[in-house]
Amino acid sequence: MTGTVPFSASHPSQLSVQDELRMENRLLRARLEEILEHAHRNQNIMERHQKFELQIIGASHFRELITSVFSSLATTSELDVVNLILLDPRQELQQMLHDLRINLREFPHMLFVRSERELQTPSISTTKPVLGPYQRHLYEQFFRSYSKKPASVALIPLIRQGRLIGYLNLGSYSIDRFLPTMATDFIERLGSIIAICLENVINNERLTYIGLTDPLTNVSNRRYVEQRTLEEIGRARRQGYGIACMYLDIDFFKKINDQYGHQGGDDVLCEVARRIKAELRLSDTLGRFGGEEFVVLLINANLQDAMLVAERIRRSIAEKMFALSEAGHCNCTISIGLTTVSEKLNRGDEAIVAKEMICRADRALYDAKRSGRNMVRCE
C-alpha cells in the first residue's frame, strides 16, 4: 500500500472541476436567457413596427396619416419627441389643406417652411439621417415646437424622386438613445416609407381639391361653396355666432370680353379672384359661382364687419387698373350684394337657411346693379 494515493485525496479536485462546470453552465443559461429575452423584445419591437408600417401605408387621407405618425410612432419606438417639418415653398399645401377643412392647429408639432434656409442649418445632411446629442445651435429650429428639448436626436430627411420634401425628427430624453456611431438602415427605411405615404395622401387630397376648385381662378367652385355653406350654417348655430354672405358680379364683363378677347376676360377673372381673396381671412370662403359671379362667406361676422370687408373689396378692384397678358390694361368694377344670418335667425332646416341666405345676397346684388353698379347693397 506504500506510495498509493488514497481515492479520497483526489476527490476535492474532482468536486472543484464539477463546481466550475456547474457555475459555467449557470452563467451560460443566464446568458442564453438574456439573449432569448432580447430576441423576444426585438421580435416585439419588430412586430410593433410592422403594425405601424401597415397602418400608415393604409392611410388614404392626410389627417389619418399625420395622426398615426404623431401618436403611434412615439409609442411604437418609445420616443419622447416626434416632429415633422414639411417644405411648402408657395404655401400651396397649407392653403389646400385649409380649404379641405383640415385644421392644422390639431398638429402643433407639424411645421411648414418655405425653404431649407429657414432651418438655418446648412451643415445638416439633406440625404442621410443625422444622429447624435441635441445641439441648440444646430437643431433648435427643428424642435422649436417643443419647450422641453430632447437629449439625443435623429433627423431623417424625407426624399421623393431625388427631392427633399421635409424632415422627420425624433428625439429622446436619454443621451444614449441616438448615437452618431449607430447604424441608420432602420431609420432610413422608416423615412422612406413615411415620405412615400406623405406623397400618396397629399396626391389623394389634391385630387379631392381639384374636384372642388375652379380650374381658371384657382378658388373654390360652386359645389364646394354650397357644401361649405351648409357646414358653416350648422357650425354657426352650434357655436352661437353670425355669418355673412356676399354675392359679387363683375360689371359689364361682356364688354371686357368683346374688347379684350377671352384671354383678357380670363385675366380679369383671375385678378378679381386674387384681389377678393387678399381681403379675406383664412377662415372665410371664396368661390366662383359661374361666369363672372363669385360668392364669399364671412365667418363670425355681423353686418357692420361685412360692410367694411365688402367696401375694401370693391375699392381694391375699382381703384387699380388690371394688367392684361395680351392687351395692355383695363379698368374694372364690381357690384356686391350682402346679407347676414344672425344667431337669432339661424333656425330651422340648415339647407333652407343656406338657400335663403344666398338668394337674399343675390337680390341685394341685383339692387346694386339697378342702382348704378360699382357699389354694395344689403338685404
How many angstroms separate the CA atoms of 287 and 294, rounded? 6
How many angstroms separate the CA atoms of 217 and 219, rounded? 5
Closest CA to 313 of 282, 364, 279, 361: 279
Closest CA to 154 of 127, 134, 174: 134
Closest CA to 375 of 329, 320, 331, 338: 338
Residue 104 one-letter amino acid: L
Q: Is 292 a catalytic residue?
A: yes
How many angstroms separate the CA atoms of 26 and 99, rounded? 66
Check the CA dihedral 270-273-276-277 and report its sign.
negative
Residue 238: Cβ within 10 Å count: 9
How many angstroms separate the CA atoms of 50 and 198, rounded? 18
Which grid coordinates are listed for 16? 472543484
> Which candidate in 271, 292, 343, 350 is catalytic?
292
How many angstroms separate the CA atoms of 135 and 139, rounded? 6
Contacts of 151 (CB under 8 A, 6+ apart): 133, 134, 171, 172, 173, 174, 175, 177
C-beta separation of 82 from 88 below 8 A: no
How many angstroms separate the CA atoms of 222 and 214, rounded? 8
**Angle 222-239/350-370 helices, nearest 10 degrees?**
120
Q: Catalytic residue numbers?
A: 292
